[in-house]
Amino acid sequence: MLKRALYFLSFLILFGCGSAKKKRTYRTPITVSVEGSSEETPTLEKPKKEKKKNSKVEDVIATAMTFSGTRYKFGGTTRKGMDCSGLLYVSLKENDITFPRVSYQMAEEGKRIKVGQVQKGDLLFFKTSKSGKRVNHVGLVVDVRGDDIKFIHSSTSRGVIVSSLREGYWNYAFVKAMRIL
């Protein structure tokens, strides 16, 4: 017992003495100033083709967003009701882009891309039917933040809405992404 008490006492002395906090002093920060040159630095602008493409993408997205809240109607292409491919067909057509009317035909157009390469304006294709063997749903990417991809589409239950590919249902039903713009 005495041996144990001595061991405990020596432990406290050994580790207890160094526990006081040391006051730290910092020297004043050094500031460095660099004089700029009198020459103007050229700004790096995006090529005209890329600017035009981004503008077209934004226009298509803006058109699609005007249909938010429109009820779902199979085969519909008006504000009274529309289906998923109708939404994209109208949004593209109003921006002078001709495209097939139905989702499985849309899925054959453009360039296939990986999910990690998805950008605004790309199309996402889904198989939502349990027994279906082909694409039957499509959405337009409206925002990408890290691995969260938001897309606008017309769902049978809620009409034209923006959803996330991270949602379990859409993530499970996802088939492929295509770039058309």
Residue 174 phi, psi dihedral angles, 5° rounding: -60, 135
Residue 54 phi, psi dihedral angles, 5° rounding: -65, -35
Residues 134 and 73: their CA atoms lie apart, in Å, by 20
Assigned token pair, 150? 């938001």
Query: Which residue in 137, 149, 152, 159 is the catalytic one?
Result: 137
CB atoms within 10 A of CB 31: 5
Query: Which residue in 84, 88, 90, 123 is the catalytic one?
Result: 84
| Residue 72 DSSP code | B
Q: Are 164 and 98 in contact (CB under 8 A)?
A: no
3-class SS of residue 174: strand
Q: Can 51 be counted among the known catalytic residues?
A: no
* Closest of 156, 105, 147 to residue 128, by C-alpha: 156
Q: Can 52 be counted among the known catalytic residues?
A: no
Q: Residue written as tokens 């590919």?
A: 165
Query: Which residue in 123, 151, 153, 154 is the catalytic one?
Result: 153
3-class SS of residue 159: strand
Q: Can 153 be counted among the known catalytic residues?
A: yes
- Residues that are catalytic: 84, 137, 153
